[in-house]
Structure 1
Amino acid sequence: MDEEGRLTTRQAAELLGVKPATVYAYVSRGQLTSRRDPVGRGSTFDAREVEALAVRSRREAAVPAGELSVRTSLTLIEDDRYYYRGVDAVELASAHPCEEVAEWLWTGALPRGARFTAPPETLAAARRAVDALPGHSGPADRLRVATAAAAVTDPLRFDLSPEAVLGSARCLIPTLVGALPVVGRAQWAGDGRIARQLWPRLTAREPDPDALAVLDLALGLLIDHDLAASTLAVRVAASARAHPYAAVSAGLGVLEGPLHGAAGRLAHGMLAEALERGDGAAPVVADHLRAGRRVPGLGHRLYRGEDPRASALFARLEALPQAGPALAAAREVVATTAARRPGLHANVDLALAVLTVSYGMRAQAGETVFAVARTAGWIAHALEEYQERPLRMRPSGQYQGPRPPRPMP
């Protein structure tokens, strides 16, 4: 190693445990950068960069063959609780607005009074694009189109440095919210907090401070939840070095799947029907089971007990008189189902449905809240993935077709 901390090709190969030719293959794939030796006898490599690649390679080699494992320092789910960078996520979201929670997940710092602002030209472009959609378009449709419009206005979107990606994220989230059509009074739309900007896009009813606090709590709780299907899609896109807007678009595409993002809408419909019928939630649960449908808002594969996000939201909702009827219906749904399946507990979709039903929000409001919140988490995962080896998420298919050679059809 020379005085500048650079390695020869042979030294780099020894440290990586590969042949010299493989070192140059790493260079061609963008995993290492090389510099010509001043004497002209070959290439040299930054020792720290080589060591970092060696560490990543050793970690990947430790993963059992055939098992998909993604290293992350963002969210840990353990013993029916979950943590953002080691801090209890429920406690964090209960004490800080969603913008500060997002900053913590992105940077590991907690800046007080964090605000996100949409650039006027970006917001205008996103609104024009969303306004051109048919009136029946869903929230995922609008958010995907707004994301694409925002990307086009950002000439720096291909800069994948952490500073540039964070700058894009702080502009994208308020742009997505601001591009959604206003349902309520427009004067609520200009406040700096994401929760206040989002509220009039969800309902025509004016918010009170306690209701806004519950919405902000929901946003903070939903920012990340380990490697959900949409988050994995984001990591795959980021592994291919797609820019952050494209990575978010990948997440939004998966979120629209009926097995991922639609659960909140189904729970909303169930509670709304129970309140409209007026004879309790038990008959509605019976109708779901009679039709062969799952009762929405119940159970989560990662928790043995009640989803901690649901517990936190229920606790806040109990203090709101407006939420009383919907909360009682939700509790009845859980109790009715528990008579036969005692291990089935409420999840966050049911708790979010209590909020959306209580304040006259549309059925897709929960999906909108989920998508806006999770955008911050997707950005955090994209930031992590940009620091990994490119295209590392390239599994091999297990071919099941006929063996060649076959005659030409």
Structure 2
Amino acid sequence: MTEELKKGLEGVLVAESSLSFIDGDAGELVYRGYTIDDLAKNATFEEVVYLLWHGELPTADELSDFKSSMAKERHLDDGVQRLVRDLAEADEEPMAALRTIISDLSAYDPDTDADPTDEAANLRKGRRITAKIPTALAAFSRIRNGNDPVEPHENLDHASNFLYMLNDEEPDDVLAETFDMALVLHADHGLNASTFSAMVTSSTLADLHAAVTSAVGALSGSLHGGANQDVMQALLELDESGKEPIGWVEDRLESGDRVPGFGHRVYNVKDPRAKILSAESEALGEAAGTPHWHEYSVSIEEYLGEEKGLAPNVDFYSASTYYQMGIPVDVYTPIFAMSRVGGWIAHVLEQYDDNRLIRPRARYVGPKDGTVTPIENR
């Protein structure tokens, strides 16, 4: 009997998880029993990370302690700072830089020699990795633009501190709340490619830094995290063309190009995160006097929905949201990593807790019955 081939592991169950649930037909996303709408409106990124790592939302005291412990880990060691500067001055691509930086963090981590499955040590490592990514990313972005890095601000929350370090000024409440919400929306999403990469790596009993480095590598591709950057570049192309959105889409499709930000491997309807970010993008545009970005997006969404039956994913509206916040386009995917690291670490902790080496098989379709010809006769 020939076993059914499932390319891309589509529809294959490989694990049980208590972290997040997706109903692709209903357009629902749940973290540990809480809907994404509820969390986006009523919980901060730090609360969501605590929920993912510890299984329940924190009390006020637990949240205060967690935020304080995260804030204390934001500083980069001198060696990491030198690496960030070297990568920025070499004009390295941001996701490649982030991948290298996270791997380097291992050399300075006090728990680097801990058993890979030591949960307490992994929670400490997780706090350090999660806290240091924004510092490294903001410093990298500033240095390549000829500016000095900005030291982290211990009294600001995770989202506000990143914007502060990126722009050298504290964000207003609207920007801070919008960015925090975006981080909440991206924190976890089932066994996506980057999360599964982290799980595969950790299943070998490699350490947490190795697992997160693997995840960053997977996220960098245009079919995963890189899509949000592609969306904004497409919207900028539309804006520069002077065409109406529908005509621009028709021209793009006729030339064989796809419109990024549409379709999803799991959702058969509109991504619930896209619904939330669409409203945020509209509000930002109205406040900044740049409503055209949201108007472009809505026109494209309506046309592709009616004509092609396609629905937008989270990348389609996160792109214009970030752009209106003044975030450089090629930093969008690293920001995705800045959020998703919370989910990666939670899944790695779950993998370690009930580990089995992940080792699928492939159906061999190559040649058979070969014999080696002596090298002088080849």
Please indicate, yes or no, whether the TM-score normalized by the shorter chain is above 0.5.
yes
Q: Which residue of structure 2 aligns with residue 92 of structure 1?
A: 39
Instruction: State the Cα distance separating 1:405 from its structure 2 match.
Output: 6.2
The one-letter amino acid paired with 1:124 is: D
The one-letter amino acid paired with 1:193 is: D
In 2, the alpha carbon distance for the partners of 1:279 and 1:139 equals 31
TM-score (norm 1): 0.77
| Aligned residues of 2:95 and 2:334 also touching (Cα < 8 A) | yes
Instruction: State the Cα distance separating 1:206 from its structure 2 match.
Output: 6.6
Secondary structure of the residue that 2:270 maps to in structure 1?
coil
In 1, the alpha carbon distance for the partners of 2:350 and 2:249 equals 42
In 2, the alpha carbon distance for the partners of 1:125 and 1:118 equals 18
Residue 292 of structure 2 is aligned to residue 328 of structure 1: no
| Aligned residues of 1:297 and 1:350 also touching (Cα < 8 A) | yes
> Could you say what the CA RMSD is over the residues aligned between the two structures, in angstroms?
2.5
| Aligned residues of 2:106 and 2:209 also touching (Cα < 8 A) | yes
Alignment of 1:330-369 (within 5 A): 330-341=297-308, 343-369=309-335
Using a 3 Å threshold, how does the CA distance of structure 1 residues 100 and 356 change in structure 2: closer, same or farther? same
In 2, the alpha carbon distance for the partners of 1:246 and 1:272 equals 36
Instruction: State the Cα distance separating 1:166 from its structure 2 match.
Output: 0.9
In 2, the alpha carbon distance for the partners of 1:185 and 1:110 equals 37
| Aligned residues of 1:102 and 1:223 also touching (Cα < 8 A) | yes
Structure 2 residue corresponding to 1:228, chosen from 186, 192, 195: 192
Query: Once structures 1 and 2 are overlaid, which stretch shifts more, 297-306 or 76-85?
Result: 297-306
Q: Which residue of structure 2 aligns with residue 162 of structure 1?
A: 119
Secondary structure of the residue that 2:283 maps to in structure 1?
coil
Secondary structure of the residue that 1:345 maps to in structure 2?
coil
Query: Once structures 1 and 2 are overlaid, which stretch shifts more, 210-219 or 399-408?
Result: 399-408
The one-letter amino acid paired with 2:102 is: T
Residue 52 of structure 2 is aligned to residue 105 of structure 1: yes
Instruction: State the Cα distance separating 1:170 from its structure 2 match.
Output: 0.9
The one-letter amino acid paired with 2:79 is: A
Using a 3 Å threshold, how does the CA distance of structure 1 residues 352 and 245 change in structure 2: closer, same or farther? same
Q: Which residue of structure 2 aligns with residue 72 of structure 1?
A: 17
Instruction: State the Cα distance separating 1:202 from its structure 2 match.
Output: 5.6
| Aligned residues of 1:123 and 1:179 also touching (Cα < 8 A) | no
Q: Residue deviations 1:285-316, cap 9 Å, x none?
A: 23422331110112223222211001111223
Instruction: State the Cα distance separating 1:128 from its structure 2 match.
Output: 1.5
In 2, the alpha carbon distance for the partners of 1:117 and 1:230 equals 26
Using a 3 Å threshold, how does the CA distance of structure 1 residues 123 and 221 change in structure 2: closer, same or farther? farther
Residue 267 of structure 2 is aligned to residue 303 of structure 1: yes
Using a 3 Å threshold, how does the CA distance of structure 1 residues 122 and 211 change in structure 2: closer, same or farther? closer
The one-letter amino acid paired with 2:304 is: T
Structure 2 residue corresponding to 1:375, chosen from 341, 344, 348: 341
Instruction: State the Cα distance separating 1:130 from its structure 2 match.
Output: 1.6
Instruction: State the Cα distance separating 1:222 from its structure 2 match.
Output: 0.4
Residue 99 of structure 2 is aligned to residue 144 of structure 1: yes
Secondary structure of the residue that 2:366 maps to in structure 1?
coil
Using a 3 Å threshold, how does the CA distance of structure 1 residues 178 and 328 change in structure 2: closer, same or farther? same
Instruction: State the Cα distance separating 1:91 from its structure 2 match.
Output: 1.1
In 2, the alpha carbon distance for the partners of 1:280 and 1:223 equals 35
| Aligned residues of 1:117 and 1:170 also touching (Cα < 8 A) | no
The one-letter amino acid paired with 2:124 is: G
Using a 3 Å threshold, how does the CA distance of structure 1 residues 164 and 188 change in structure 2: closer, same or farther? closer
In 2, the alpha carbon distance for the partners of 1:311 and 1:205 equals 30
In 2, the alpha carbon distance for the partners of 1:119 and 1:202 equals 18
The one-letter amino acid paired with 2:372 is: P
- Structure showing greater Rg: 1
Aligned residue-pair number: 342
Instruction: State the Cα distance separating 1:82 from its structure 2 match.
Output: 0.9
Using a 3 Å threshold, how does the CA distance of structure 1 residues 400 and 203 change in structure 2: closer, same or farther? farther
Q: What stretches of structure 2 of length at least 5 have no aligned partner? A: 1-10
Q: Percent identity?
A: 32
Secondary structure of the residue that 1:318 maps to in structure 2?
helix
Question: Which structure has the higher relative contact order (CA within 8 Å, separation 6+)?
Answer: 2
Q: Which residue of structure 2 aligns with residue 5 of structure 1?
A: none
Q: Which residue of structure 1 aligns with residue 8 of structure 2?
A: none
In 2, the alpha carbon distance for the partners of 1:188 and 1:153 equals 19
Instruction: State the Cα distance separating 1:119 from its structure 2 match.
Output: 3.7
The one-letter amino acid paired with 1:196 is: S
Q: Residue deviations 1:127-152, cap 9 Å, x none?
A: 22121114432221221122112111
In 2, the alpha carbon distance for the partners of 1:301 and 1:366 equals 21
In 1, the alpha carbon distance for the partners of 2:330 and 2:75 equals 28
Q: Residue deviations 1:190-216, cap 9 Å, x none?
A: 253221222256668873211221111
Structure 1 residue corresponding to 2:85, chosen from 123, 131, 144: 131
Using a 3 Å threshold, how does the CA distance of structure 1 residues 185 and 408 change in structure 2: closer, same or farther? closer
The one-letter amino acid paired with 1:100 is: E
TM-score (norm 2): 0.83
Q: Residue deviations 1:265-286, cap 9 Å, x none?
A: 1101122233344443234323
